[in-house]
Structure 1
Amino acid sequence: MTDEDYQTLLVAVADRRHLAETNVQSSLWQNYYRKYFEGVEALQTIKPSLAEVLDDLARVSEARGLSTTTASALRVLRELLGRPNWNSDAQEPAKAYALSCFAELSYLHLSRYDVEGSDRYDFIPSESLFELLNASPRISVDLEQLFAAVDPEIRILVLERQLLTFVAMCRGDLAIIAVRGTAKASEWLTNLNAERLGTTEPQYHPGFLMEAWDGMLELRTKLRAALVRPNLYFTGHSLGGAIAAILAPRMGGRTAYVFGSPRFGNAQAVERAEPYAYVRPNDLVPHLPWDRLGYADAASRLHVVGSGAPVQASAFKSLKDWLVPGGRPFAVQHDIKGYRHHLAMAADARSPELAFLELRQAYARPLKV
């Protein structure tokens, strides 16, 4: 195939991608996406490097006036690293959006504890994770290979624990540690018989604190290369957000960015951690455990993203009734994807809905243990 043929195919595939992105709310969008990726595979028979193919597609899309809805998935990651001022601890929309993406990326790595037959989840906090777990055989995204395509200078470090996975991205003075939790800990959120927290000194959820302390010991030995960076950020979604908030001040990190985090302690504990905490109005998890047990919101000021009526916890018999509505695997209102989508708009950033699908498809490998 000649270079002219390659360019012609590039235009056709770019149009397929645009069609898929602009019909993401349609029931046919998955079929559009499948045809798009078949086109990408055809392009790779000519130019094997996926990174080069995706960048070529981004270039052609922009030349054809499709840049508002089309961007290379790898280029999105490059932009994430380039836009925020990582040297400042000031809160900024670009940083919140970037860190929500890294929190979502942590769900793309399945650990050795996620093998077939493992029962780690009574609900699943991410649609991306749900799809990886339900693939047969189970698959995991090779984050090391993915980020090598973004920037060869990036180093990826992973620490796997029974209830937590830590994914660290290091480049230069910057280190981002995304904490991913399992959902077996949901019982911790709704235990009405739990001991009430006091009000005279910082007190934490005992389960969260135990996981944070145990994780901190391993972090100091296995992820030391990340911890020595001057610009160290902790982030996480759901349970991972609570652990990130507890760890950040103890590990010398900058203010943590957390998304959909449950309450992790009393008001004194929150004052000590004081993360930048983002919630969606109809997400129940940030309102658990119950305040009548002495728990305070994950930050003195919660930053609400998106719209919708505030969730009414009293309308549900249990957390599971809300998290698994009608037998579905997870509540859409708690999915990290929704947080990332609204934060992208707040940051005036390009957030193509297909970017993470591309990454899963391109860098997924059978789960090995």
Structure 2
Amino acid sequence: MKTQQIIFLILSSIILSISAFEYDVDMAEKLSAYSLASYCSSSRLTSWTCGKTCDRVEPLKDVKTFENEKELFYMIGYSQKEDAIVIATRGTLPWSINNWLTDLSASKVEYQNCQKCQVHQGFQQAFSSIIDSLKTEFSKMRKQYQNSKIYITGHSLGGALATLLVPEIYKLNNNMPVDAFITQGSPRVGNQHFSNWFAENNNFSKMSARITLNKDPVVQLPAYSFPFSFKHIGNEVFYKDPSIKHEFTKCLKPEDQSCSFGIYFATNIIDHQSYFGYGWGSELLFCR
């Protein structure tokens, strides 16, 4: 009997170690606030005067923003309180036809950083249009704040862009993991090989979380099933209620039935706009 108990305890500890990953609710809430701030106008961000959207978190210093003709946007700045470089890639603007065309393109293209990896064509094209500028700004800021932490975040389309960004910042950071990589409502980005590659590299981050919320339809896109065959990366943190930030389910592996993959008829766009109870749909109208 003792032997069976010992075996059970050993197996239980192995299962727990496999399924566990670090998640800090306060950090996730903070980076989600920076994600929301990235929807504000450049002028309000550089002066950090975007009302309650900016008041939720510490002001960023030396803020640089970038927006191209396709209305793709990022912000980068330094948090003195956190001693961290913060990068937030913006999600889809509701009125942007260009952003919607990016989201709706569901073809795959080869991804150069790993064998047999493929990623969403629209996301890759969007990412290619901002990465050179972002690398330049990050290198400047890294030189200025040499020992600072690095946080990367993004919501919706911004979550997909952040997913493509984190391996690039990892390389620029001398192949050292970033300190936090957290997305909200990200769609699927790549194929099975891409998902596996992320897992093999521990998501290129000391702490990572792909946050999902209840019946958010965006996290179910592009389709998992054949012939689309997209697959999420892991480290999912699934919330049923956006207002109860300490009640969630953690799923190490992607497409776990215990998390968003187990939700059928995920058609509530309000959930996509409700992470941490913030007004993702309304606040951007007042900080543009």
Coarse TM-score class (shorter-chain normalised):
0.5 to 0.7
Aligned pair 1:332/2:265, yes or no? no
Question: Partners in 1 of 2:151 and 2:196 — Cα distance?
Answer: 18
- Is it true that 1:168 corresponds to 2:76 in the alignment? yes
Bigger radius of gyration, 1 or 2?
A: 1
**Quick check: 1:232 aligned with 2:150?**
yes
Q: Aligned AA for 1:182?
A: T
* Pairing partner for 2:231 from 271, 283, 296: 296
Q: Look up the SS of the partner of 1:181 in the other structure.
A: coil
Retained in 1: the 8 A contact 2:103–2:123? no
- Measure, in 1, the Cα distance between the counterparts of 2:115 and 2:61: 44
Distance 1:152 1:278 in 2: 24
1:233-265 per-position Cα deviation (integer Å, ceiling 9, x unaligned): 110000000110110121123342000000010
2:88 aligned partner = 178
Aligned length: 214
Letter in 2 for 1:240: G
Query: How far 1:282 moved relative to its partner?
Result: 0.3
CA-CA distance at 1:334 after TM superposition: 0.9
Q: CA deviation at 1:210?
A: 2.5
Q: Which residue of 1 aligns with 2:159?
A: 241
From the superposition, tell whether residues 247 and 196 of structure 1 become closer, same or farther in structure 2 (CA, over 3 Å): closer
Secondary structure of the structure 2 residue equivalent to 1:262: coil
Structure holding more strand per residue: 2
Tell whether the 8 Å contact from 1:165 to 1:179 is kept in structure 2 after alignment. Answer: yes
Q: Which amino acid aligns with 2:265?
A: Q
Q: Shift of residue 200 of structure 1?
A: 6.3
Q: Which residue in 2 is equivalent to 1:287?
A: 220
Give the drift of 1:154.
Answer: 2.5
Identity %: 23
Check whether the contact 1:279–1:286 (CA below 8 A) recurs between aligned residues: yes
AA matched with 1:310: I
Is residue 2:135 matched to residue 1:220? yes
Q: CA RMSD in A?
A: 3.7
Identify the residue that residue 189 of structure 2 maps to in structure 1.
264
Paired with 1:155 and 1:238, the residues of 2 have a C-alpha distance of 25
8 A Cα contact 2:65 2:76, kept in partner:
yes
The structure whose residues are more often helix, as a share, is 1
Distance 2:149 2:140 in 1: 12
Distance 1:206 1:225 in 2: 29
CA contact (8 A) 1:233 1:248 kept: no
Question: Under a length normalisation based on structure 1, what TM-score does the superposition of the two structures give?
Answer: 0.49
Deviation at 1:107, TM superposition (A): 1.2
* Structure 2: unaligned runs, 5 residues or longer: 1-20, 171-177, 243-261
1:146 maps to 49
Code of the aligned partner of 2:237: H
* 2:66 maps to which of 159, 166, 175: 159
